[in-house]
Structure 1
Amino acid sequence: MSTEPTMVIGSAGRRLYLIDWFRDAFAGLGVDGRVVVTENDPSSAAATYGDVARSLPRYADPAYGPALLDLVDELRPGLFLSVNDYELMHLHVDTDLAQQMRSRGVLVPGVERAWQLGCADKLRMAQMLEEIGVPTPPTVTADDQEGLDALAAVTDEFVVKHRLGSGSSGLALVDASGLEAAVAAAVASAPSTEGRAGAGQDVVVQPRLAGHEHGVDIVGDLREAGSLRAVLARRKVRMRAGETDKAITVDPAPFVANAERIAQAASLTGLVDVDMFFDGEGEPSVIDINPRFGGGYPFVHLAGADVPRFYVSRALGLEIDEEWRDYAPDVVSAKHESVRITAREG
């Protein structure tokens, strides 16, 4: 058993910067803490980058749950977070592992079960957003001919994507003449819940929205579910492989109303990454929610925000000022490539 202040990042993958920023948070608070990284691939970029590296079975392996709880009992972390959508579903929906960790005194950021399910299902998410008064584009499945006809009556530009996809899975932007072909392509590659071949119900169609796409981090308190603590926003300038590659920080004020509704309805603790379209007038429309640190967080962090500092302070029960949520607008940042040795064969 360890008494050293500890946090665990699960499935960090390529996000080495997140490990660095949590290390910085411990140091900035004057705490000799450590960041533990868990991975099932010991040669992944992040696997050996933490202060402690632990290998766990894949989340779908029956041995994953016992191994995770054994690690928690041994290391006694104050905080556990994952940046993998499928691991999060396993922790919060498929099992009660998130709750078991919380019962052991570990802070596990997230949203309530219904919203975790909604985040993975774009049709369900649109319905849930409508129920709480958050603007979102009309969303229908590709086998809903009546719904498709209704969309065609108001627009001739469409967005097609996988209903259960992650990132920009299956994404196509088309006009009316290309809609049928785009739907067919998306159906052919669509994931489904029953393991069957893709079908029209596994693809959603929406009208293409006007305005600019923004990434917005909604940050809830880690100990008081549903209590909004910060809104951090950037306008997306360039995308790459489904993730923001270049962005400019913007004033978060237009996004606060939606953030408050989502935080309260989802019983939010910690950070969720939300995509919104905003044309400069009215309320922004929400198109996607990822219940984790997303690929857009670095742009506000580099501009001055420090969510890792907030996380660590709440985990340790320390009081800090509100400067962690302040950032400068109009800061342009872009991602770049790097590489590190992760293993040696033999």
Structure 2
Amino acid sequence: MNILLTSAGRRGYLVNYFKEALENQGEIHVANSSIHSTAMMYGDHSVVTPLIYDDAYIPFLKAYCKEHHIDALIPLFDIDLPILSNYKTEFRRIGVEIIVSNKEVIAICNDKWETCNYLKKKGFHTALTFVTLPAAINAIRQGHICFPLIIKPRWGMGSISIFEAENMDELNVLYHKVEKTIQATYLSYESQQNIKSCVVIQEKLVGQEYGLDIINDLEGNYQTTIVKKKRAMRAGETDCAETVINLELETMGKRLSLVMGHTANLDVDAFIVEGVPYILEMNARFGGGYPFSHIAGVNLPKAIIHWLNGEAVEQSLLVANPGVVAYKSLMIIEHQTNAVPVVL
């Protein structure tokens, strides 16, 4: 089996997880729009692609999959998800299974305003959220919400342009700063859906933060929820976490799986606030917290390979040992890559 990981970025660890799971019974291909992406150095083969929103992107991926006999394609970046979700049937016709949730699930997860509305509708607790500056200011004046407040892109990812406002002056300045940043980055693409309401303002949840890996099979059937207690954060990423048993969060994960029906992993940021579980954000992909599940005994890449082969998955592959504390670290690697630059 040959697997292509797209928009791999710095996720060299995921490349290695899939290589180990294949047990030399296939190859892992790594794709990214920049040759200067560390994950490119870990695959059996790597390739530079057109940008995701380029008209040549999908034709390029289809041609690459045909030429290299790719069996499954797994996107690892939020922007990639809605694009590739639209082409699941088309790729299936050429023998390639795209491991991605349907476009409705992705739309809910990628849009933080829609995430909030969906969660409230389904009976989950979430942060009080506003999608316009006047609405937030009115709520402050009426005492419905108070500082500090979090300002961030509505269609945001990668911890880009997330700020905390302590007062009204900061709220006004930072709101417009986020608007400007969105237009100057790749966040502008999805934000075109509603450019006048592309920033959200949220109450700051104060409590213990957790990361959840809510795992479904490839048909959207619930398998398990892995709970990790976040012990250290850096720039929006989990630096240190511990796998724990928390029946309340596990039950919430199962409830969320049943209403979402996502494919494979749903990465969720959750809080316990005064004893009440809250959901802040969801990502319909392998999240930055998955390695903490993996090092504790979970092997979702191997489970995905079994599912693709039509094989049963042993429950042991999806069980995390509790009490495993792990850390992320920085390392320097020499630039050596077999990536082939694309010619447009």
Q: How high is the TM-score relative to the length of structure 2?
A: 0.87
Residues 343 and 20 (structure 1), Cα distance of their counterparts in 2 relative to 1, 3 Å cut: closer
Contact map agreement 2:191 2:198 (CA 8 A) in 1: no
2:231 aligns with: 237
State the SS of the aligned residue for 1:47. helix
Which structure 2 residues correspond to residues 1-346 of structure 1 after superposition, within 5 A? 5-27=1-23, 32-92=25-85, 96-145=86-135, 147-150=136-139, 153-157=143-147, 158-177=149-168, 178-191=170-183, 192=188, 201-222=197-218, 224-225=219-220, 227-279=221-273, 281-282=275-276, 284-343=277-336
Distance 1:68 1:200, change over 3 A: closer
Query: Could you tell me how far apart the structure 1 residues matched to 2:144 and 2:105 are?
Result: 29
Offset of residue 131 of structure 1: 1.9
| In structure 2, C-alpha distance between the alignment counterparts of 1:107 and 1:135, rounded to whole Å | 34
**CA-CA distance at 1:280 after TM superposition:** 6.4
Rounded to whole Å, the distance in 1 between the matches of 2:208 and 2:94 is 43
CA–CA distance in 1 between the matches of 2:204 and 2:46?
44
Q: CA deviation at 1:274?
A: 1.0
Aligned-pair CA distance for 1:200 = 6.6
Range moving further from structure 2, 47-56 or 124-133? 47-56
CA positional deviation for 1:61? 2.0
- Asked if structure 1 preserves the Cα contact closer than 8 Å seen for 2:3 and 2:73, the reply is yes
- 1:187-215 residue CA offsets vs partner (Å, 9 max, x unmatched): 3323445888x977222111112311211
Question: What are the ranges of 5 or more consecutive residues in structure 1 without an aligned counterpart?
Answer: none
Stretches of 4+ moved more than 6 A in 1? none
Aligned AA (2:152): K
Within 1, Cα distance between the matches of 2:78 and 2:109? 9
CA distance in 1, matches of 2:93, 2:139: 48
C-alpha contact 1:7 1:34 (8 A) present in aligned 2: yes
Change (3 A) 1:51 1:182: same
| Cα 1:55–1:194 shift into 2, 3 Å | closer
- Matched residues in 2 for 1:132 and 1:315: separation? 31
Q: Residues 12-32 of structure 1: CA distance to partner in whole angstroms, max 9, x if unpaired?
A: 1111111111111122xxx62
* Superposed CA RMSD: 2.5
Deviation of 1:307 after TM superposition, in Å, equals: 0.9
How many residues matched?
Answer: 330
Partners of 1:175 and 1:21 in 2: CA distance: 42
Gaps of 5+ in 2: 338-344
- Return the TM-score normalized by structure 1: 0.86
Q: Bigger CA drift: 43-52 or 210-219? A: 43-52
When structure 1 is superposed on structure 2, of 292-301 and 126-135 the one drifting more is 126-135
**Equivalent pairs: percent with the same residue?**
28
Residues 197-244 of structure 1, C-alpha deviation per residue, up to 9 Å, x if partnerless? x9772221111123112111111111x22x111211212222223211
Alpha-carbon spacing, 1:110–1:259, altered in 2? closer, same or farther (3 Å): farther
Q: In 1, Cα distance between the equivalents of 2:252 and 2:189?
A: 29
Contact 1:13 1:44 in 2 (8 A): yes
Amino acid of the structure 1 residue aligned with 2:74: L
Please say if residues 105 and 262 of structure 2, whose CA atoms lie closer than 8 Å, have aligned partners that are also in contact.
Answer: no
Return the offset for 1:250: 1.7
**Contact 1:134 1:261 survives alignment (8 Å):** no
Q: Report the 3-state secondary structure (helix = DSSP H, G, I; strand = E; otherwise coil) of the residue aligned with 2:301.
A: helix
8 Å contact from structure 1 (residues 159, 206) kept in 2:
yes
CA contact (8 A) 1:156 1:175 kept: no
**How far apart, CA to CA, are the structure 1 residues paired with 2:191 and 2:26?**
43
